[in-house]
Amino acid sequence: MDATHTGHARLRQLVVVLGDQLDHDSAAFEGFDARQDAVWMAEAHPESTRVWVSQPRIALFLAAMRHFAAKCRARGWRVHYRELADGPSMATLAMLLAEDLATLRPARVVMVEPGEWALRAAVREVVAETGLPYEEREDRHFLCSHAEFARHAEGRKQLRMEFFYREMRRRHAVLLTAEGEPEGGEWNFDSENRKSFGRGGPVDILPPQRFLPDEITARVIEDVLRVFGSHPGALDDFDWPVTAAEAELALQDFIEHRLARFGDHQDAMWRGEPWLFHARLAAAMNLKLLDPRQVIAAAEQAYRDGSVPLASVEGFIRQILGWREYVRGVYWLHMPGYLERNALSAREPLPGFYWSGDTDLQCLRESIGQTLRYGYAHHIQRLMVTGLFALLVGVEPKRVHEWYLAVYVDAVEWVELPNTLGMSQFADDGVMASKPYVASGKYIERMSNYCRSCRYDPALATGPDACPFTTLYWDFLLRHEDALSRNQRMSMQLRNLARLDAPRRQAIVQQAEAFRAGLRAASGGAR
């Protein structure tokens, strides 16, 4: 701790700031008085060990937190900052806070509502035990409050992102004409967002601006390697924006150099090209280095200036104003029970190679490899490669959730959990998605060049060269045929399944079972 209250009058208020609340203009600092108030922050060891958090994610959080604390001090604010303990420590964030509240005894505690259900409960409990007054303020970084989302959900049998998104466009007057109609006459240009790169691959990609470690980040990297050296991932390429100023530069870089082509190729994948035309801004927004309003406004302005086509801008804004807000709404509406959902009764362990990338399935090797190296994969790699594989194998959703929470620099539970458990694993029985996102290896072949250098053939479901995705896809439909037959949106896939005769079905089931048994046998000691 770098300051104590000795010699000061009693603290008027202690402002608790979490690793994903790094905004000096947040509601927590309203009325902040540097003469009487102080900031409290802590690097709690279990935050990196309750799931096996990757080195890039730990480093990003710690680097951003230490930069934030440095800026507070530079403003003359008192900061009580608990740095990472050297050895393993069981002290959770709530325990560290309890200890410090006992010694600091502020007149009251203030913070913005934590974004994670369990942490919010733990902080509330700790402060309640001290008997100190506690003020939890609404997180202003979101464009839809809990109450507004609850109102949207009220009386609806099923939630759908598209309706929510239209409401948000209207409420916040985003991409509307003067008459209040959607720009371009359509709400959604999704059908224009699914192009692959064709045989030639992407051209003229400008790699994103890099933010190489300064002194503070270099020390964080040393600490992470020392304390979490056995954790997955690597730090050699660490170049994420770790301050608000850097995040703003990253936003400008995206708007100028990649947004125009974001729309067309949102879903495409290519070997050795981790960023393509993606924003790389989720982590900065989730840590609150960047306000989503600012991101949306910058994208809309690029359209109004005529420098970026509408389909790209709409596609990008839909992700932030639509999906990002929608998943947060789903999270708070359904927690804490959501975490336990397993609608398809999936029970398999997570294959060990998820922690190493060591597999001969080229698409997984590539997607997991870049994930561990950078802490990043884009949406379709997460949904239609790593997520799809886990769904088809039948991995227990909670294990899949733990992996996603551990490996991505942008992973925070309110956004990761509905995406993983709901959208990707269909474990919530259709709360997030109207049907399971399932496809065979042919989808990956169409959207990437992964299959060209793979030993498997995406067209084959059985035999030694069969693509495991294709085998497992048909096996998935067979295993869940009854339940899926009640879902209108699955009817085409089930009609194709109906064409398979009994011997073919049996061969697929046998091959899928043998493949799963192989995964189980190999999984044992990976972690």
Residues at the site binding ligand SF4, with contacts judged by CB under 6 A: 361-363, 441, 444-445, 450-451, 454, 456, 458, 467-469
Give yes or no for residue 319 binding ligand FAD (CB under 6 A): yes
- Out of 221, 298, 327, 477, the only residue in the binding site for ligand FAD (CB under 6 A) is 327
CB of 495 to ligand FAD, least distance (A): 27
Tokens of 274: 């981790």
Residue 372: contacted member of ligand FAD, ligand SF4, none (CB under 5 to 8 Å, by partner type): none
| Long-range CB contact pairs, 220-226, < 8 A, 24+ | 220/59, 220/62, 220/63, 220/66, 221/59, 221/63, 223/62, 223/84, 224/55, 224/58, 224/59, 224/62, 225/55, 226/86
Identify the residue among 329, 387, 397, 422 touching ligand FAD (CB under 6 A). 387
Nearer CB in complex with ligand FAD: 319/493: 319
Residue 358 burial by Cβ neighbours in a 10 Å radius (0-12, 13-18, 19+): middle
Angstrom distances, CA of residue 22 to CA of 26, 111, 250, 251, 289: 8, 12, 17, 17, 6
CB closer to ligand SF4, 415 vs 454: 454
Using rule CB under 6 A, residue 168 touches ligand FAD: no
Q: Check residue 282 for interaction with ligand FAD (CB under 6 A).
A: yes
Q: Which of ligand SF4, ligand FAD, none has residue 378 at its interface (CB below 5 to 8 Å by kind)?
A: ligand FAD
Stretch that binds ligand FAD, among 198-206, 297-305, 414-422, 453-461 (CB under 6 A): 414-422
69: exposed, middle or buried (C-beta count within 10 Å: 0-12, 13-18, 19+)? buried
- List of E strands, 467-525: none
The nearest distance, CB 402 to ligand SF4, in angstroms, is 23
Q: Using CA atoms, how far apart are residues 206 and 193, in angstroms rounded to an integer? A: 20
Binding piece for ligand FAD, criterion CB under 6 A, among 10-18, 135-143, 418-426, 475-483: 418-426
Of ligand FAD, ligand SF4, none, which one does residue 408 interact with (CB within 5 to 8 Å by kind)? ligand FAD
Contact 127, 152 (CB under 8 A): no
Between 108 and 202, CB nearer to ligand FAD: 202
Nearer to ligand SF4, 85 or 507 (CB): 507
- Do residues 385 and 211 make contact, with C-beta atoms less than 8 angstroms apart? no
| Residue with Cβ nearer ligand FAD (81 or 142) | 142
Report CA torsion sign: 473, 474, 476, 481. positive
Can you name the residues that pair with 40 across neighbouring β-strands?
16, 80
Binder of residue 324, out of ligand FAD, ligand SF4, none (CB less than 5 to 8 A by kind): ligand FAD
Phi, psi at residue 81, to the nearest 5°? -120, 120
Distance, CA of 190 to CA of 194 (rounded, Å): 7
Distance in angstroms (rounded) separating the CA atoms of residues 75 and 72: 5
| Burial of residue 127 (number of CB atoms within 10 Å: 0-12, 13-18, 19+) | buried
Q: Three-class SS string for 166-185?
A: HHHHHHCCCCECCCCCEHHH
Partner whose footprint covers residue 278, from ligand SF4, ligand FAD, none (CB < 5 to 8 Å by kind) = ligand FAD
Min separation Cβ 388 and ligand SF4, Å: 9
Interface with ligand FAD, residue 286, by CB under 6 A: yes
For residue 420, state whether it binds ligand FAD (rule: CB under 6 A): yes
Identify which of residues 13 and 312 has a Cβ nearer to ligand FAD in the complex.
Answer: 312
- Contact present, 21 and 72 (Cβ < 8 Å): no
What is the DSSP-derived secondary structure letter of residue 516? Answer: H
Nearest-approach distance from CB 474 to ligand SF4, in angstroms: 13
CA 158 vs CA 17, 397, 426: distances in Å: 36, 22, 15
* Torsion from C-alpha of 110, 115, 121, 123, nearest 10 degrees: -40
Question: Residue 382: which of ligand SF4, ligand FAD, none does it interact with, CB under 5 to 8 A by kind?
Answer: ligand FAD
| Among the residue ranges 16-24, 213-221, 331-339, 417-425, the one whose residues contact ligand FAD (CB under 6 A) | 417-425
- Total binding residues toward ligand FAD, as defined by CB under 6 A: 28
Q: Which is nearer to ligand SF4, 28 or 363 (CB)?
A: 363
Nearer to ligand SF4, 242 or 467 (CB): 467
Distance from C-alpha of 275 to C-alpha of 280, rounded to nearest angstrom: 7
Residues forming contacts to ligand FAD in the complex (CB under 6 A) are 278-282, 285-286, 316, 319-320, 323-324, 327, 378-379, 382-383, 387, 404, 408, 410-411, 415-416, 419-420, 423-424
